[in-house]
Structure 1
């Protein structure tokens, strides 16, 4: 059984068990449905969510699409209901997660793969920097990129998530020690990110952003210890922000970001690096791990790249 069909099978089983629990537990019913009539909701949800997911588990494509459409609709409606009433916050979170999983599973059932390349647009589109640009230009561009990405991904998005978390009555106050630890971890991760950005922009003849990528293969600074220091820094920063603001949903957001980067962005990035730098990148990949830093750094080097036209 493929992963997509397996997911729909788990979803069907979980949905059936959840509906049984809803009618047996008033507390669970309130947490997931608020004041909605469970009988009315079940009349729609059992056939469209549970039964369609079960049929999709056997490879039926139309039920897979219908289950995904229904799950996405319920997630949106339940999120709106929770925002308006401050009820059913748990149900909203569960259905949002289920909708995301259903979309991925639908692609796997229908095509056998997830078209991750469709997400590589805009700032995630792979293009090399102009090889004739001055170093100062790369440094300025990198500073702007860091400011924008950190401001949005570590500021705006966590603020919005935290606001929903409060509105949906899902917030939990973390101990003071956890908050302090979050600040310490955030500062350390930020230092790592800045270190990596400086090395890439001053030695790589480009920026860390895929759409303005370095034209030289750089092994220096934190890149001597870990293959993707900026990604590692960003993910740790995100989790640290969650600790700082007492938001478990922001911590989950950081974990989800790590999955997106690892399974969607990283494979494309590494194929691009291998195509441009060949054996230099392959040797580097064999010596330095993606996520877990080495205890001893490898020798520093800068390998000229194959300067390709912007793609």
Structure 2
């Protein structure tokens, strides 16, 4: 059972989410009716009355009906939330208004979709994330040089996508939606220092994976041997640590709190959903060797090998 921030993801917690969403919707509509500032920040120049005619029954009441146990309402509230989120995103991008409303609705759309899937499936189908081309498979035995080349190409693709393209898009949206918060120069500088350190760790980890493990970072080309040397002596997931630190550092360099939040959310999702699946696969393939290794080496906090057994 996946657990996010200490909360087990079950149909019960999915219904609880929709209950909270319904209450939040009521609170927001009351605040929008009483405060011009709230209405301007979240709706811009959109006609509040017209929006309320559709949103209150489809979003607020729809979420409450789901929370009461009527699963059919998922097919009402979740699509409506997605439509509103898309519309608000287009409106905020075109006008520069209602950025906070667009951001909240985009988050609500994603959370509603996830909670709806849990309700309809009766559980959290996390195995969907590691099926098809993303399924865990050992790498083919093609030699160290070829594996290093593949690792280099994969690293460039993932870094280019998650550390360049997506952060640039997020930062541009943040600016256009008037969500940017100015930060002092020292924040940008700290981000640069962190990026250098995290990148060095990422390269060290990737090379160790290819040379010692005969594999690549890609799930479909995983290590053929358990890697416990190099940075893996100090922490079980050095590539994940490096990737998270890189994402945060890029956000600091850009002065974008939304990029930092995107990186932290990605780390939470990976740790809660993907990591348990990956470690179950490692235990299935390497047995007691992985169990012993995981019992003495921390998942996230680096430790000296000499004191690892004390954890």
TM-score, L = length of structure 1: 0.92
Find the counterpart in structure 1 of residue 284 from structure 2: 275
Residues 81-105 of structure 1, C-alpha deviation per residue, up to 9 Å, x if partnerless? 1111111110010001111111111
Deviation, structure 1 residue 123: 5.8
SS of 1:294 mapped into structure 2: coil
Find the counterpart in structure 2 of residue 235 from structure 1: 244
Distance 1:121 1:181 in 2: 38
8 Å Cα contact 1:3/1:108 also seen in 2: no
Q: Relative to structure 1, is the Cα distance of residues 217 and 45 closer, same or farther in structure 2, using a 3 angstrom cutoff?
A: same
Find the counterpart in structure 1 of residue 33 from structure 2: 23
8 Å Cα contact 2:209/2:223 also seen in 1: yes
Distance 1:81 1:202 in 2: 50
Mapped pair 1:2 → 2:2: no
What value does the CA root-mean-square deviation take over the aligned residues? Answer: 1.5
Mapped pair 1:204 → 2:217: no
Point out the more displaced range, 256-265 or 219-228: 256-265
Distance 2:256 2:284 in 1: 41
Residues 129-187 of structure 1, C-alpha deviation per residue, up to 9 Å, x if partnerless? 113x1111111111111111101110000011111111111112211011100111111
Deviation, structure 1 residue 260: 2.0
Deviation, structure 1 residue 263: 2.2
Deviation, structure 1 residue 117: 2.2
Find the counterpart in structure 2 of residue 163 from structure 1: 172
Q: Relative to structure 1, is the Cα distance of residues 237 and 297 closer, same or farther in structure 2, using a 3 angstrom cutoff?
A: farther
Structure 2: stretches of 5+ with no match in the other structure: 1-10
**Which of 70, 73, 84 lines up with 2:80 in the alignment?**
70
SS of 1:218 mapped into structure 2: coil
Find the counterpart in structure 2 of residue 41 from structure 1: 51
Find the counterpart in structure 2 of residue 58 from structure 1: 68
**Which of 95, 98, 101 lines up with 1:91 in the alignment?**
101
Structure 1: stretches of 5+ with no match in the other structure: 300-311
**Counterparts of residues 113-128 of structure 1 (less than 5 Å):** 113-121=123-131, 124-128=134-138
Q: Relative to structure 1, is the Cα distance of residues 47 and 188 closer, same or farther in structure 2, using a 3 angstrom cutoff?
A: same
8 Å Cα contact 1:158/1:250 also seen in 2: yes
Find the counterpart in structure 1 of residue 122 from structure 2: 112
Distance 1:217 1:122 in 2: 23
**Which of 229, 238, 249 lines up with 1:220 in the alignment?**
229
Q: Relative to structure 1, is the Cα distance of residues 298 and 276 closer, same or farther in structure 2, using a 3 angstrom cutoff?
A: farther
Distance 2:180 2:306 in 1: 41
**Which of 172, 180, 185 lines up with 2:189 in the alignment?**
180
Find the counterpart in structure 1 of residue 139 from structure 2: 129
TM-score, L = length of structure 2: 0.92
Deviation, structure 1 residue 125: 2.5
8 Å Cα contact 1:21/1:28 also seen in 2: yes
